[in-house]
Amino acid sequence: MDYVGRLTAHLPMAIRLIMVKADGSVSVHADGGAYKPLNWMTPPCTVRESVGEWRVEHGKTGDALVITIEEILADRSYELGLDPGLQKDGVEAHLQALLAERVEVLGAGWSLVRREYPTAIGPVDLLVRDDAGGSVAVEIKRRGEIDGVEQLTRYLELLNRDPRIAPVRGIFAAQQIKPQARVLAVDRGIECVRLDYDQLRGLDDPTTRLF
Amino acid sequence: MDYVGRLTAHLPMAIRLIMVKADGSVSVHADGGAYKPLNWMTPPCTVRESVGEWRVEHGKTGDALVITIEEILADRSYELGLDPGLQKDGVEAHLQALLAERVEVLGAGWSLVRREYPTAIGPVDLLVRDDAGGSVAVEIKRRGEIDGVEQLTRYLELLNRDPRIAPVRGIFAAQQIKPQARVLAVDRGIECVRLDYDQLRGLDDPTTRLF
DNA sequence: GTATTTATTTCGTGC
DNA sequence: GCACGAAGTAAATAC
């Protein structure tokens, strides 16, 4: 198999599993590497089959996957029908929505200014007002790592240039905060808050919630 | 199917493809979503099969995937044997090697000091000398994003403490540079250069190249 | 074993 | 459609 596109790749002849889905995607799997195929083509793409060769092409990008077939050991096709989607729970968007509804867990008398408060380099998760009327930017993560602290630092730098809301201090809120991230945050005067998802959900009022 | 682990997810009953590989991984596919499974478990994990139910567990993390099986439409098993690995070409290491051989694309009369120039927090992709004898640190990415600018900033901070080479300025070189990364770079006095892989390869002298 | 960086990242979401 | 941030990111590499 040969792939030419964002990179060039070659896969020697061996026994492989080729999966073709209804969405048009083609994946070539080996018996390892967990769920990831060795090579693939995402839709929209076209498959042209000739004797001993499949040519899979992505029209727009020009990516091409050429599969040379020496022998077909099995060729099966199944109708899977409609797919009721996967329901996920506990991702970051949930945390943000839950915390936005219950900003008082950050401090008594605090209120939400807005979610996704825009800055020149992207939106801050939450902008809130503390009980003394001061501005607080909140960055929410499931896993709090150094990247998140850097991100909040950049936001704070920009927000503090805006005289309408400056001074703005920061809160780094996460379900789990890595020690190094906590050290960096504290060093920069950023407060760390651990979020308890189940507790937030318990506080949540089902009649007003978004999910 | 129900997953409890880093998040909680539920997948309603429907016709699915379950793939079990020799490495022990289990993936549950729908007829869409390209190569990505709806849910999966990476090795090492154990599968316990009982009547109408598979219980897949990751011992260390406690993640668990419970698959309820109403009907088996097909159950096939194939030996794939040994897998000669995938050979890739055109990734970041290549860009670095190509640019190292043709630093003059950055400026006439420029020369390479060394690739992977070491600092206390890791190696800089390239350290070069411009036509006036000044030091320039080059960070190379396929896709230039904010992270890369932060990385180069940290390197520059350290390199500029070294009196043997200071002052050192920075160049952020990438095949594609995101607007926000460019803004941040310019704000920090870092020059941005767009790399053309095919052009670099064209300039490359095949008799001296590393690949 | 831990931390860092890449990835044909893919994927969703806001503008 | 573009750009940006999240992902059960996973996987490879350096330390």
Of B158, B162, B166, B116, nearest in space to B136 by CA: B166
Residue B79 maps to a domain: no
Q: Report the share of chain B in percent with pLDDT over 90.
A: 51
Question: What average pLDDT does range A69-96 have in this prediction?
Answer: 91
pLDDT higher for A140 or B118? A140
Q: Is residue A200 classed as helix, strand or coil in its secondary structure?
A: helix
The CATH number covering residue B18 comes to: 2.70.180.20
> Do A23 and B36 count as a contact with CB atoms less than 8 A apart?
no
- Gap from B110 CA to chain A (nearest CA, Å): 29
The CATH number covering residue B102 comes to: 3.40.1350.10
Domain check: are A139 and A57 in the same one? no
Residue B22 maps to a domain: yes
Report pLDDT digits (tens) over A146-187.
Answer: 888 888 988 898 899 889 999 999 999 998 888 778 888 888
In this prediction, residue A211 carries a pLDDT of 39
Q: Which residues of B touch A80 (CB under 8 A)?
A: 14-17, 30-31
Residue A163 maps to a domain: yes
Burial class (CB in 10 A: 0-12, 13-18, 19+), A204: middle
Residue A73 maps to a domain: no
> Mean pLDDT, chain B, as a whole number?
88
Domain check: are B192 and B97 in the same one? yes
Domain check: are B62 and B112 in the same one? no
Q: Looking at chain B, which residue has its C-alpha nearest residue A147?
A: B147
Chain D: nucleotides below 7 Å from protein CB are 3-12, 14-15
Residue B78 maps to a domain: no
Residue A205 binned pLDDT confidence (cut-offs 50, 70, 90): low
Q: How far is CA B51 from CA B10, B14, B46, B54, B69, in A?
A: 20, 18, 17, 8, 8
Residue B12 maps to a domain: yes
Domain check: are A64 and A96 in the same one? no
Domain check: are A54 and A111 in the same one? no
In this prediction, residue B201 carries a pLDDT of 76
- Domains held by chain B: number: 2
Any chain B CB within 8 A of the CB of A87? yes
> Do A14 and B74 count as a contact with CB atoms less than 8 A apart?
no
> Do A17 and B80 count as a contact with CB atoms less than 8 A apart?
yes
Domain check: are B64 and B111 in the same one? no
Residue B76 maps to a domain: no
Domain check: are A114 and A184 in the same one? yes
* Domain limits for position A130: 92-203
pLDDT(B90) > 80: no
Q: Which residues of B touch A15 (CB under 8 A)?
A: 78-81
Q: Which residue stretches of chain A are H helix?
A: 92-101, 146-159, 179-187, 197-203
Report pLDDT digits (tens) over A58-79.
Answer: 988 889 999 999 999 999 999 9
Of A40, A57, A39, A37, nearest in space to A48 by CA: A57
Domain check: are A99 and A178 in the same one? yes
Residue B48 maps to a domain: yes
> Do B22 and A32 count as a contact with CB atoms less than 8 A apart?
yes
Q: Looking at chain A, which residue has its C-alpha nearest residue B28?
A: A35
Domain check: are B197 and B152 in the same one? yes
Instruction: Give contacts of A 133-192 with B, CB under 8 A.
Output: 147, 150, 154
The residue among B16, B36, B68 that closes a domain is: B68
Domain check: are B53 and B144 in the same one? no
pLDDT(B207) > 80: no
Among A2, A86, A180, A201, which would you mutate to test the B interface (most chain B Cβ atoms within 10 Å of its Cβ)?
A86
Identify which of B38, B43, B83 has the shortest CB distance to residue A30. Answer: B83
d(CA B86, CA A11): 5
Domain check: are B58 and B97 in the same one? no
Residue B144 binned pLDDT confidence (cut-offs 50, 70, 90): confident
> Do B83 and A6 count as a contact with CB atoms less than 8 A apart?
no
Domain check: are B108 and B39 in the same one? no
